[in-house]
Amino acid sequence: MTRDEDADQDGRSYKLSAFPAAAVRFSRALDRNRERIAEEEGLSASELRALFYIGEHVAVTPKRLAAHMHMTTAAITLISRRLVEIDLLQRLDNPDDRRSVMLSLTPRAHVAMERMHSDFAEMITGATAHLSSAELAAFTTQLESVATAIADHTARLDRERSIAAL
């Protein structure tokens, strides 16, 4: 007896349809692209996420990076140590707290980030080339709106979980 790979043992399948299915497909495509980039750069997914966050914020403390990535500072220490060893991160004195350090990109990391951002922009431009400028502007507005609503929803659930844990 064979069964449909998309169905569980009871024969039920949990497939989304319409916009939710498209959103999942879009998210998976972005995830796979991120995995590909990490593989090409010889990085773990967490290391790549850390680089992108630091690159976006110029310099961050390990504590702030840990909060963003929902990891312990010990885990961030391991990630940052490896990124320092391969010359993608540097530790700088924290001007606001002499007991802390700031993590920032090295010149080698800036070259890699510029390449990754350029490749991503080229991929997105190609993927949306069939849209008129008005359609692209409307799509951008709607995508921003959906992303903001999802982020707000997730933040609310995180707050509720934190309160419940007290």
pLDDT digits (tens, 9 = 90+) for 3-36: 556 656 778 888 999 999 999 999 999 999 999 9
pLDDT digits (tens, 9 = 90+) for 118-162: 999 999 999 999 999 999 999 999 999 999 999 999 999 988 988
How far apart, in whole angstroms, are the C-alpha atoms of residue 88 and residue 51? 8
pTM beyond cutoff 0.75 = yes
With CA atoms as reference, report the closest residue to 109 among 79, 89, 91, 93: 89
More confident residue, 47 or 166: 47
Least confident range of 2-6, 47-51, 69-73:
2-6
With CA atoms as reference, report the closest residue to 77 among 91, 88, 59: 91
Q: In the prediction, which pLDDT does 166 show? A: 82
Radius of gyration of the chain (CA): 20
All structural domains of the chain with their residue ranges = 21-127, 132-166
Q: Which two tokens stand for residue 33?
A: 């692209």
Hey, which residues does 59 pair with through a beta bridge? 104
Q: What single letter denotes the amino acid at residue 10?
A: D
Computed over every residue of the chain, the mean pLDDT equals: 93
What CATH number does the domain located at 21-127 have?
1.10.10.10
Backbone angles phi, psi at 120, to 5 degrees: -65, -45
With CA atoms as reference, report the closest residue to 84 among 97, 69, 66, 101: 101
Q: In the prediction, which pLDDT does 11 show? A: 83
Q: What is the DSSP letter of 99?
A: T
How far apart, in whole angstroms, are the C-alpha atoms of residue 32 and residue 28? 6
pLDDT digits (tens, 9 = 90+) for 91-122: 999 998 888 899 999 999 999 999 999 999 99
Q: In the prediction, which pLDDT does 27 show? A: 95
